[in-house]
Amino acid sequence: MHIVTGGAGFIGSNLARMLIERSGDDVMIVDDLSDGHKFRNIADLKIVDYLDKGDFLGLLKSDTAFALDVQSIFHQGACSVTTEWDGRYMMRNNFSYSKEVLHYCLRRNIPFIYASSAAVYGASDQFVEAAENELPLNVYGYSKLLFDQYVRRLALTAAQQVVGLRYFNVYGPREQHKGSMASVAFHFRNQLQEDGELRLFEGSDGFGDGEQLRDFVYVDDICELNMWFFQHPGVSGVFNAGTGKAQSFNDVANAVIDWHETGRIRYIPFPDGLKEAYQSYTKADLANLRASGCDVEFRAVASGVKTYLDILSG
């Protein structure tokens, strides 16, 4: 059995789907369905069980064994709202909870593959997994960085696998519940359908209107990456999870317009307080990922957005 925390969320539900489709193995989902709308992400999945994240934490703390052998825990659960400034909540949810899941896995030699974030790099223009490049702009990024630092101090045995994946800008199906935190591809599509106008931010940090650059990565490629590490239990560490290429917000907008064969772009000012905490440039350095032996390929924006919109319209 595989356990996917955050399994009713965006990346978690896609990962659960891929695990079921590829292996036919049992998958248990752990999540918090206080927002019941997320049920739609897992309604079509034949999962073996569901646990609330609080009940799951209780079982971990009691060191309870599960009825089925646990092959892996993919820890995708977190508060990913970059505008959340309740640091106590963020650290309890993203840092302390993650430590409990990690140590359960270490005690039982269960592969532990978890979601980190490119938010750890903040305003840096160097995206190599090294301390000198890591200075988050928000408490979400800090919560992820602190856990990465905790993991780096571990002395693992040959039987233990711990992998952190620093997700860059992920987009794709099953993200509709995320609201303002959903991808720009999702919002651009909705804006176009509402009034034919895609709204992008004006220029910042020396970039022209809509020309800020991000490493946009399609969700299935992220799931493939998680699968690759599970299939290679001898590989541990913290790795970037992106395409290794930076593309502009204009590129995403134009891919949406091309698919619909209509639409126009308008540039708008940044909301108050956002500009100072905004990453204008991200680009995953994949040297360490490739050195690990990982050969997962990542699709470009034009291809990923087309696949995404094909699914949304299906």
Contacts for 186 with CB less than 8 Å, ≥ 6 apart: 171, 175, 176, 178
Indicate the DSSP class of residue 204: B
Concerning whether 275 is annotated as a catalytic residue, the answer is: no
Q: State which H helix or E strand residue 259 sits in.
A: helix 249-260
| Annotated catalytic residue within 50, 178, 267, 275 | 178
Exposed (0-12), middle (13-18) or buried (19+): which is 77, by Cβ within 10 Å?
A: buried
C-alpha to C-alpha distance for 235 and 228, rounded to whole angstroms: 10
d(CA 222, CA 304): 12
For 204, residues 6+ apart whose C-beta sits below 8 A from its C-beta are: 212, 270, 275, 278, 280
What DSSP assignment string belongs to 63-89?
TPPPSS---EEEE------TT---HHH
Strand 162-167, strand 72-75: pairing: unpaired
> Helix or strand or coil: residue 292?
coil
- Radius of gyration over alpha carbons of the chain, in Å? 19
150 is catalytic: no
Chain-centre distance for alpha carbon 12:
8
Catalytically annotated residue among 140, 171, 218, 308: 140
- Candidates 301, 306, 43, 303; CA nearest to 169 is 301
- Beta bridge pairs of residue 114: 75, 164
**Catalytic machinery residues:** 140, 178
